[in-house]
Amino acid sequence: MNIFLGLAETVLKEGLIYGVMAMGVYITYKILNFPDLSVDGTFPLGACAAAACISRGMDPWLACLVAILAGALAGCITGLLHVKLGITDLLSGILVMTAMWSVNLIITGGSAILQFFNKPTIFTSGPVKLLPPALYSHRQILLIFILALAVRLLLAWYLSTKNGLLLRAAGNNEQYVTGLGKDPGVLKIIGLSLGNACTAFAGCILAQMNENADINSGKGMVVMALASVIIGLAVFRKLSFVHFVTMAVLGSVIYKACLMAALQLGLPNSYLKLLMAVLLTAAIVSERFGKGGKANG
């Protein structure tokens, strides 16, 4: 039973961390219809930026802010490549993802893994110190939950503002936004910045939990984020009281649970990425079937 609880906590922790990314990808993929491949590069970007800051003695919360801004900037570049230079959405993402590999290496000073053991992180300093001793051992899951909740509230709030509404319109019908006297390209750039800011934040949280940043940690993030979003929407679609952003983060938890279950059932580690690809394929196919059924019925 204890083993099970431990596993459940790991699933929740990872599910929520990657869920922060999934919430961002919900904005680019679902709202803007933009399959953004740059997240493979901006996830480790957030991790590396935070690690570089913290290992130089910066306050870990400030390091989060740096990571978020770095992600937003990278997303902004993806958007500019697409909107201003007319490069296709997929290729814009690939360009930024590729460039991020070097950027991340430059940030870490050339090493694939940047460690910062024993430096203060958001999990060891600041507000978590105020936790009662009984809860302190669960501080990771508590803090991750609060951070994910904060991102969820912020994004849902943004989407309900005038600007957020316009962003939704831009993904839906660019001509409509143009008709309102606004440049739909600018909204795409805003959306991509938001999506990658969330992704980098997720990378930053993971790095602080592990006390190291791994520039390889971005491999498969696109696949994971898309699968989370699609699964979340498929599972919770019928529940109208659940916000779409919440569906994305919950999808990530379900996704992580699936991976964990497969590993526990004896799937060798080397099969993991294969399983991830299969899961995304299954999610996309089932999504299409779901839609087809609706259209016919």
Partner 1 sequence: MAETLIGLEHIDLTFNPGTVNETVLFTDFNFKVDKGEFVSVVGSNGSGKTTMLNLICGTLSPEKGRVMLEGNDITKMPEYKRARRIGRVFQDPAKGTCPELTILENLALADNKGSLFGLSRGVNRSKLDYYKELVAQLHMHLEDKMDTKVGALSGGQRQALALVISTMTPIDLLILDEHTAALDPQSSETVMELTLDVIEKKKLTALMVTHNLRYAVEYGTRLVMMHDGAAVIDSYGKDKSAYRIEDLLKTFNEISIECGN
Question: For binding to partner 1 (CB under 8 A), which residues are involved?
Answer: 158, 160-166, 168-169, 171-173, 175-184
Closest contact distance (angstroms) between CB of 179 and partner 1 is 5
Q: What is the DSSP letter of 131?
A: S
Smallest gap from Cβ 85 to partner 1, in A, equals: 16
CB of 158 vs partner 1, minimal distance in Å? 7
Q: Which is nearer to partner 1, 172 or 286 (CB)?
A: 172
- Tell me the C-alpha to C-alpha distance, in Å, between residue 121 and each of 49, 142, 144, 252: 13, 15, 13, 24
The smaller minimum CB distance to partner 1, of residues 12 and 169, is found at: 169
CB of 91 to partner 1, least distance (A): 24
Question: Rounded to the nearest whole angstrom, what is the least distance from the CB of residue 294 to partner 1 in the complex?
Answer: 12
Residue 266 vs 293, nearer CB to partner 1? 293
- Rg (C-alpha) for the chain, rounded Å, is 19
Q: Which helix (H) or strand (E) holds 16?
A: helix 2-25
Which residue type sits at 251? G
267: helix, coil or strand?
coil
Beta carbon nearer to partner 1, 26 or 255: 26
For residue 203, the 8-state DSSP code is H
Residue 143 or 248 with smaller CB distance to partner 1: 248
* Whether the Cβ atoms of residue 166 and residue 188 lie closer than 8 Å to each other: no
Cα distance between residue 23 and residue 297, in whole Å: 30
The least CB distance from residue 225 to partner 1, in Å, is 21
* Residue number, 25 or 159, with CB nearest to partner 1: 159
Identity of the residue, 172 or 264, whose beta carbon is nearer to partner 1 in the bound complex: 172
Residue 296: CB minimum distance to partner 1, A = 16
Count CB atoms within 10 A of the CB of residue 286: 13
C-alpha–C-alpha distance, residues 231 and 246, integer Å? 12
Vertex 51 angle, CA 49 and 54, to 5°: 110
Element (H, E) at 123: none
**What is the spatial distance between Cα 281 and Cα 234, in angstroms, rounded to a whole number?**
14
The count of C-alpha atoms lying within 13 angstroms of the C-alpha of 130, restricted to the half-sphere facing its C-beta, is: 3
